[in-house]
Structure 1
Amino acid sequence: METDKNDLTRQDEEIAAHEFEAEEKRDRHDFGNWPEAVGLVATVIVIWLIFAFTG
C-alpha cells in the first residue's frame, strides 16, 4: 500500500466520512474505549495527588 504525501498532512475534517471509515478499517486498530477510561482515571489520580500534597 503506497501512501500519497498529501494524505499524510490531511486533517480529519478535510476527509469525507466514507474515506475516514475506509482509513480506519485499513489501520485495523480498534482499542475500544478503555484508553479514554484509563486516561480519565489517571487524570483524576494526578489531580488528587496535586491537591493532597500541596493543600
Structure 2
Amino acid sequence: MTDPHLTRQDEEISAPDYTAEKRREAYDFGNWPEILGLALTLLLVWLTFAFTG
C-alpha cells in the first residue's frame, strides 16, 4: 500500500492542494502535551524513589 501523497514534496504540490493539506493538519494543541508529559515524568521519578528507597 503506497500513498503518493506521503512522498510528495511541498514544491511539487499545487497551491490549492497545499493549502488544503495545511488546513487538514491545522491541529494546534499548544504546550499542554509537553507540560503534562513533564508532570507525569516527574511523578513517575518521584514514585520510583519514594517506594524503592
TM (normalized to structure 2)? 0.60
RMSD: 2.5
Question: What CA distance in whole angstroms lies between the structure 2 residues aligned with 1:25 and 1:40?
Answer: 29
Task: Write the deviation string for residues 7-55 of structure 1: whole angstroms up to 9, x where unpaired.
Answer: 1xx5xxxx66xx8xx6554312100001000000000000000000001
Point out the structure with max Rg over C-alpha: 2
Structure 2: state its 5+ residue gaps.
14-18
- Fraction of identical pairs, as percent: 45
Tell me the residue number matched to 1:46. Answer: 44
SS at match of 2:37: helix
1:1-12 map, 5 Å: 5-6=3-4, 7=6
Structure 1: state its 5+ residue gaps.
none
TM (normalized to structure 1)? 0.58
Tell me the residue number matched to 1:30. Answer: 28
List structure 1 segments (4+ residues) > 2 angstroms apart after TM superposition: 22-26
